[in-house]
């Protein structure tokens, strides 16, 4: 008898899949480009010579990017793998055989996470290159590898656990984010509160153990040589949580695929949440009548009443953090560094959320075939497009306007001396506000167009974020590194800070115009043709 038969089958299938090899090659090349950009930037702007500090910069930068990849792996790979099988009605068929819960869970884990895991493995050889430059020890490299492998397994286990409990894709993705944040930041937030609230108490390191960022920080020699037990304890706790989540998913999976009726006549927590999100029967009917009078697709995309409230809650949490930070530090509420960080946090939050929501409804309808049914009704393409835009306006327009207003308050609160002596600071503020508006418009168009051509909602999100939010920053890093390198070759000819602000602004605007206008044109001219391509490649949008 074959042990873990689904795992063996999925590994054999993945071994014949071309993407298994292309992902490793692409991620490895990207890691080489990033390492080269960091090295050039360090050489030109910080060090002006090859030194051990350059190796430390490259190693830290790659390690931080790999940690972010590992933390997001669960949301990309496993958060919807079991819940998708439940929606399609194929999950219960697996348990008609003699398969156990752990067979299915580990099999789906191997099937969905192989590319992400291989991508992480492709980064490891590049992370070892700083050993040749200096400044990095063998112990740091191996400890970093352990942390990254532990982190990606933990994130995948969180996604698998949430997917075993969920049935709806959107809720599975949201619950994955919430559970990951609670497990990784809940206890550290308590430790930070105790440390700042009670200055006489030392920092409780035990509460920081579940956070992979803490383990990443403790893997460096500067921290590990002082307290090595903190590193191993954090690594062990994260690994134990991984196996606990996989065990819980294996126990829950065989019991969660059926639609069960509560014999006591009570409501489950899922029913209560649905009632809270959609409202009572009379409230739903009133809400439906109100939205149907405006646009039919507007009602389909805006049935949940809590979406705008969720955005306001997140913004309120960021505002509360900002106030607490200023009160704890006992400084001016509009102090420049904290204001800049707050503005960056607000912009990233809104842009990422819009990228997630703009094409989600279309992608799910495309995948389920519901979009074909909609196109067979008298509903026109223009009405579908307008309904999606109205749903996004209802959810994000007022929060976006509030964030822009807050950032203008920060801008006008800059001291006159800063504006006079450092003109790049107010210029950067204004450029950031303009990019927030331009990126939002481009994200909406690109996300909707990608939703019609991508193989899955997750792929549509990745394509959108890559083109509008990530690619301009990579180009900016390369151009900035080249400019700094030129400064070292030709002393006295270096660009000013205004050059870097303009470079950042125009690269962002260029990406918005190129991808946004192309997506807008495709939506208006080829919406029906794209929507009818059930299995389309993302290469349709070059």
b/e map 392-409, b = 16+ CB within 10 Å: beebbeebbeebbebbee
Q: What angle, 0 to 180 degrees and rounded to 10, lies between the N-to-C axes of helices 228-256 and 81-88?
A: 0
* SS3 of residue 323 by DSSP: helix
How far is residue 191's CA from residue 185's CA, in Å, rounded to a whole number? Answer: 10
Q: Which conformational region is residue 398 in: left (phi greater than 0), alpha (psi within -120 to 50 degrees), or beta?
A: alpha
Compute the distance between CA of residue 339 and CA of residue 345 in angstroms, rounded to an integer: 10
pLDDT in tens, 27-50: 888 888 777 767 666 655 444 455
Quote the tokens at residue 289. 């009548």
pLDDT of 529: 79
Gap between the Cα atoms of 92 and 495, Å rounded: 63
Tokens read off for 466: 């890559």
Quote the pLDDT of residue 328: 56
For residue 305, give Cα distances in angstroms to 50, 290, 301, 401.
57, 13, 11, 20
Inter-residue contact 66 to 93 (CB < 8 Å): no
Could you tell me the pLDDT band of residue 422, with boundaries at 50, 70 and 90? confident
Structure tokens at 195: 């440390």
What is d(CA 305, CA 284) in angstroms, rounded to the nearest whole number? 9
What tokens does 201 get? Answer: 């108490």
Taking 3-state DSSP, the helix, strand and coil percentages for the chain, each rounded to the nearest 5, stand at 80, 0, 20
DSSP states of 18-30: HHHHHHHHHHHHH
Burial of 27 (0-12, 13-18, 19+ CB in 10 A): buried
Name the one residue in this structure whose structure tokens are 């606990």: 244
pLDDT in tens, 175-232: 777 788 888 888 887 777 676 666 667 777 888 888 898 899 899 988 898 889 999 9
> Which tokens in the block code for residue 291?
């939205």
- Closest to 439 (Cα-Cα) out of 530, 541, 349, 502: 349
Tell me what pLDDT residue 443 has.
Answer: 94
- Identify the pLDDT of residue 506: 93
What are the sequence ranges of the domains in the chain? 19-258
Tokens of 118: 């291989």
Contacts of 516 (CB under 8 A, 6+ apart): 441, 442, 445, 446, 468
**Could you give the C-alpha distances from 513 to 123, 419, 509, in angstroms and in order?**
32, 30, 6
Residue 282 to residue 259: CA distance in whole angstroms: 25
Tell me what percent of the residues of the chain surpass a pLDDT of 90.
14
Radius of gyration (C-alpha) of the chain in whole angstroms: 25
Split at pLDDT 50, 70, 90, the class of 537 is very low
pLDDT digits (tens, 9 = 90+) for 224-258: 988 899 999 999 999 999 999 989 988 888 877 66
Q: How far apart are CA 503 and CA 474, in angstroms?
A: 12
What mean pLDDT comes out for the span 145-161?
91
| DSSP-derived secondary structure for 389-455 | HHHHHHHHHHHHHHHHHHHHHHHHTS-HHHHHH-THHHHHHHHHHHHHHHHHHHHHHHHHHHHHHSS
Task: Give dist(CA 30, CA 40) in Å, integer.
Answer: 15
CA distance 466 to 522: 19
- Specify the residue for token string 């069960």: 260
Q: Quote the pTM value.
A: 0.70
Span 105-135, pLDDT tens digits: 888 888 788 888 888 888 888 888 888 877 8
Region 267-277: mean pLDDT is: 55
Angstrom distance (rounded) from CA 527 to CA 542: 16
CA 161/CA 212 separation, integer angstroms: 18
pLDDT at 536: 44
Taken in order 9, 15, 18, 23, the sign of the CA dihedral is positive
Q: pLDDT of 362-374, one tens digit each? A: 887 877 777 778 8
């Amino acid at each position: 008898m074959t042990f873990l038969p689904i795992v063996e089958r999925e590994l054999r299938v993945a071994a014949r899949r071309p993407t298994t090899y292309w992902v490793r090659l692409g991620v490895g090349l990207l890691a080489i480009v990033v390492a080269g950009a960091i090295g050039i930037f360090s050489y030109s702007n910080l060090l002006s010579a090859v030194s051990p500090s350059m190796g430390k910069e490259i190693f830290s930068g790659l390690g931080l990017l790999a940690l972010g990849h590992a933390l997001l792996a669960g949301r990309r790979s496993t958060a919807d793998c079991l819940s998708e099988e439940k929606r399609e009605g194929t999950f219960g068929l697996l348990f008609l055989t003699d398969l156990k819960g752990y067979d299915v869970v580990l099999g789906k884990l191997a099937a969905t996470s192989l590319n992400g895991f291989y991508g992480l493995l492709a980064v490891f050889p590049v992370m070892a290159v700083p050993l040749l430059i200096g400044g990095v020890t063998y112990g740091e490299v191996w400890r970093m590898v352990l942390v990254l492998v532990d982190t990606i397994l933990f994130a995948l286990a969180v996604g698998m656990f949430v997917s075993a409990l969920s049935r709806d894709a959107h809720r599975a993705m949201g619950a994955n984010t919430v559970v990951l944040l609670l497990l990784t930041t809940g206890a550290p937030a308590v430790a930070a509160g105790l440390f700042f609230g009670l200055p006489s108490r030392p920092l409780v390191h035990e509460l920081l153990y579940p956070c992979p960022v803490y383990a990443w920080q403790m893997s460096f020699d500067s921290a590990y040589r002082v307290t090595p037990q903190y590193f191993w304890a954090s690594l062990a706790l994260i690994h134990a949580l991984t196996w606990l989540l996989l065990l819980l998913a294996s126990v829950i999976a065989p019991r969660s695929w059926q639609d069960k009726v509560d014999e006591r006549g009570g409501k489950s927590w899922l029913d209560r949440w649905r009632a809270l999100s959609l409202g009572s029967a009379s409230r739903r009917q009133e809400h439906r009548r109100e939205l149907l009078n405006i646009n039919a697709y507007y009602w389909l995309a805006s049935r949940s009443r809590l979406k705008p409230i969720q955005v306001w809650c997140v913004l309120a949490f960021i505002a509360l953090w900002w106030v607490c930070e200023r009160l704890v530090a006992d400084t001016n509420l509009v102090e420049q560094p904290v204001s800049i960080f707050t503005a960056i946090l607000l912009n990233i939050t809104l842009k990422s959320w819009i990228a997630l929501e703009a094409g989600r409804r279309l992608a799910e309808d495309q995948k389920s075939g519901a979009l074909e049914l909609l196109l067979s009704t008298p509903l026109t393409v223009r009405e579908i497009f307008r309904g999606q835009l109205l749903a996004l306006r209802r959810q994000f327009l007022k929060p976006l306007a509030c964030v822009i207003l807050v950032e203008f308050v920060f801008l006008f609160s800059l001291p006159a001396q800063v504006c006079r002596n450092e003109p790049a600071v107010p210029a950067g503020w204004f450029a950031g506000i303009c990019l927030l508006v331009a990126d939002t418009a481009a994200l909406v168009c690109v996300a909707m167009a990608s939703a019609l051509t991508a193989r899955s909602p997750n792929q549509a999100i990745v394509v959108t974020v890559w083109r509008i939010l990530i690619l301009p920053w990579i180009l900016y890093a390369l151009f900035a590194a080249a400019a700094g390198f030129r400064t070292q070759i030709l002393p006295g000819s270096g660009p000013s800070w205004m050059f870097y602000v303009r470079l950042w602004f125009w690269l962002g605007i260029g990406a918005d115009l190129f991808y946004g206008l192309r997506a807008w044109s495709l939506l208006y001219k080829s919406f029906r043709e794209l929507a009818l391509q059930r299995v389309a490649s993302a290469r349709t949008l070059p």
